[in-house]
Amino acid sequence: MKIINIETHVLSETLEQSFIFSQWAYRERRICVDKINSDDGIYDWGKAYGSTDVIQQGIALLEPILIGNNPLENKLLWFEMYRKTSDFT
């Protein structure tokens, strides 16, 4: 089994009433929903809250590490993604 692609979907809803979270007022609720597909037809969904633009860019950054690899090797993939996003100089 190998990962063949990752689909990202941004869902948004305009709120009837804004709410304040931390330091910002929000008029819209947004979430990034992701679907990871494998070559044998198995897929799984994930979600991430936060800046959907940043989340999509993060997924684009990590996607080359995941594509073509076995999703069941999650510890290895996690370590590779961690190394890619760590700032060692």
Domain extent listing, the chain: 3-85
Per-residue pLDDT reduced to its tens digit, 19-64: 887 788 888 989 999 999 999 999 999 998 788 999 999 999 999 9
Q: Output the six-digit token pair for 82.
A: 């961690």
Please give the full DSSP string across 33-89, using - where no structure is assigned: EEEEEETTS-EEEEEE-S-HHHHHHHHHHHHHHHTTS-TT-HHHHHHHHHHHHS---
Q: What is the DSSP code (8-state) at residue 1?
A: -
Q: Which amino acid is at 12?
A: S
Question: The domain 3-85 belongs to what CATH superfamily?
Answer: Enolase-like, N-terminal domain (3.30.390.10)
Checking if the pLDDT of 89 tops 50, the result is no
What pTM, to 2 d.p., does this model score?
A: 0.80
Q: How far apart are CA 87 and CA 69, in angstroms?
A: 24
Average pLDDT over residues 57-83: 96
